Amino acid sequence: MRLLDGAGQFTSPEPGQNRHWIEHLRSADLSVGTYSVPLSGQDDQRPHTEDEVYVVVSGRADLQTADEKVAVGPGSVVFVPAGEEHRFVNLTEPLTVLVVFAPAEGSRPAA
């Protein structure tokens, strides 16, 4: 067992950065981290080669894909399959998201 200290806590990005990512756990089969986007920030991520589960801890925004948009807030849990274009838009509060990748982020080669 391992307690993931600090997981799900907002962390400010470095000056000049739009967002902050910190990884808390990595194994061959999954990785877990916290994604933080301040109200003045921007989610400019690219599609990942791994499946993702987002658990919104705090904040409010829309999660936008090519085909749909869904409002998310504290307690929202969203699955995004590998390769799907997506990003958080229309933030109304700073956003803190616990992210689970399976397998671990970056472990599959880009297509």
Cβ atoms 49, 81 nearer than 8 A? no
Range of the domain at 57: 35-102
Would you say residue 111 has pLDDT above 70?
A: no
CATH number at residue 42: 2.60.120.10
Structure tokens at 12: 């400010």
pLDDT at site 108:
84
**7 within a domain of the structure (yes/no):** no
Helix (H), strand (E), coil (C) string for the chain: CCCCCCCCCCCCCCCCCCCEEEEEEECCCCEEEEEEECCCCCCCCCCCCCEEEEEEEECCEEEEECCCEEEECCCCEEEECCCCCEEEECCCCCEEEEEEEECCCCCCCCC
Q: Is 77 domain-assigned?
A: yes
Q: Is residue 81 part of a domain?
A: yes
Confirm whether 51 is domain-assigned: yes
Question: Does any domain span residue 9?
Answer: no
User: Quick check: is 69 in a domain?
Assistant: yes
Q: Is the pLDDT of residue 16 over 70?
A: yes
pLDDT tens string 65-96:
999 999 999 999 999 999 999 999 999 999 99
Residue 23 in any domain: the answer is: no
Residue 66 domain flag = yes
Say how many domains are in the chain: 1
Hey, what are 36's tokens? 């933080």
The residue-averaged pLDDT of 41-54 equals 94
On whether the pTM is more than 0.85, the answer is yes
Q: Is the pLDDT of residue 106 over 90?
A: no
Evaluate if residue 99 carries a pLDDT over 90.
yes
Task: Work out the number of other CB atoms within 10 angstroms of the CB of residue 29.
Answer: 10
Residue corresponding to tokens 């986007």 = 37
Residue 76 pLDDT = 98
Q: What is the pLDDT of residue 92?
A: 97
Q: Is the pLDDT of residue 2 over 70?
A: yes
The CB density around residue 81, as the number of other CB atoms within 10 Å, is 12
